Amino acid sequence: MLLFSIIVTVCYSLSWSTSLLIQPKADSCTTYNHPQYGIGQCIETSKCPNALYISGYCESQPANIKCCFSLNPVERQEFRAIWIATATNIDWPSSKTATTATQQNELVNILNMVQRLNMNAVIFQVRPAGDALYSSTLEPWSLYLTGTHGVAPSPIWDPLQFILTEAHKRNIEVHAWINPYRARMKGATYTPAATNMAKRFPKYAYTYDSQLWMDPGSKEVQEFVLNVAEDIVRRYAVDGLHIDDYFYPYGDGTEFPDSTTFSSYQQQGGSMNKADWRRSNVNYLIESLYNRLHAIRPKIKFGVSPFGIWKSGTPAGITGLSSYDSLYCDSRLWLQQGTVDYLTPQLYWAIDPPAQSYNALLNWWIGQSTKGRHVYAGNAAYRMSQATSPWAVTELVRQVNLTRTMSNRLALGNVFFSTKQLMQNVKGIQNELAKLYTDKAIVPKMNWL
């Protein structure tokens, strides 16, 4: 990794360079206060294997006595995260009717695993379908938390507040993950509560592919989604706000029924074709979120995890669904314009088959980040558990290794989908991650925030 090599370079230049501007001197060979690295301890180098910087300044001592900056080390920077999906209880809570105590224990167990594996962030789904896994006056409580859409948990508690408190105690970042336009999951049959988007804006709520989906072209709906996101960032100490791949829904072979909204756009003088207009609706949401969330809290990290292929055929040799044409996601533009702080393309394919090669895609994505925004790869842990051609765990290990070879070009970490495979230690994934993440790393710094 680049960050590791910087450390090595700094170490050598401090030790051996004669042109050093500030020549630090060890006070004694017991402790040493380095201007950049803080307090180190001068001990035998073989006794400080985790030291990230070893000085050469204890001249009066035998050569093996050096300052080991293991107390205040320059930390490695790598985003090491999991998605915690709540939609249909994919990861958490294990049951929508489990008691509050059980649900809380499960969250603590997840965070304990994240901490034990030296990982440093969770992306927690708080709004799977125009509902809330947090206390909200804007939207109804989620079915997936309480068993009944619109009904508060009993005893009352706030999962987002709870995970924030528990995660921050463990030095783990929490990114609140919202789905912007889905109003009810596929197959769900409950009647949406009066505060659900579908009831607030019925003329923009469509049944599509057995889901309830809001029209991303509706100004009222856009504004409401922006308000929901702002409300979260105002009231909760979330480290980030995150959106996944769903903007316009994945197609079911029929046209998304937004012709009325498009016609009124045209009647008001709009000249874009329908596909460009749809993309502009999504771009508007992304740009507005970026600006408005940062206006509330300048250091909030805004990230999106789009479908991993921007356009089929890009880069050459890649074929697959085109997020640009099918979901109206111009995700490359967001990296180029810097309207995201990080992008986590869902690179849910293996390395070797060329059609959707993990590293060909990752290599392409980082090349698009012309504003220096971070790229954290999304990795498909779930593919170890799939029925047909399940992955070996080494596929994921190789993917992390490959990501690290590109860290000098902004590939700064990995996000695993999903929590479940890690918690169940499928194919020994925990043991493999423990080998990859042998010591702590801080989340990569975003110096533009």
Ligand X SMILES: *[C@@H]1O[C@H](CO)[C@@H](O)[C@H](O)[C@H]1NC(C)=O
Binding-site ranges for ligand X (CB under 6 A): 394, 397-398, 401
Pairing of strands 411-417, 121-127: unpaired
CB atoms within 10 A of CB 232: 23
By beta-carbon proximity to ligand X, the closer residue of 179 and 399 is 399
By beta-carbon proximity to ligand X, the closer residue of 1 and 133 is 1
Q: Which residues pair with 131 in a beta bridge?
A: none
By beta-carbon proximity to ligand X, the closer residue of 356 and 399 is 399
CB of 401 to ligand X, least distance (A): 4
Q: Nearest residue to ligand X, using CB?
A: 401
By beta-carbon proximity to ligand X, the closer residue of 258 and 395 is 395
Q: For residue 442, what are the CA distances in angstroms to 54, 76, 78?
A: 20, 6, 6
How many residues in the chain? 449
By beta-carbon proximity to ligand X, the closer residue of 286 and 393 is 393
By beta-carbon proximity to ligand X, the closer residue of 115 and 405 is 405
By beta-carbon proximity to ligand X, the closer residue of 333 and 393 is 393
CB of 385 to ligand X, least distance (A): 19
CB of 296 to ligand X, least distance (A): 40
CB of 395 to ligand X, least distance (A): 8
CB of 398 to ligand X, least distance (A): 4
The counts of H helices and E strands in the chain are 14, 16
* Neighbour-count burial for 135-154, b at 16+ CB within 10 Å, e otherwise: bbeebbbbbbbbeebbeebe
CB 121, CB 443: distance < 8 Å:
yes
Four-point Cα dihedral 427, 428, 433, 435, nearest 10: -130
Q: How far is CA 251 from the centre of its chain?
A: 25
Please spell the DSSP secondary structure of 256-310, one letter per residue: -S-HHHHHHHHHTT--S-HHHHHHHHHHHHHHHHHHHHHHH-TT-EEEE--BS-S
CB of 113 to ligand X, least distance (A): 21
CB of 352 to ligand X, least distance (A): 13
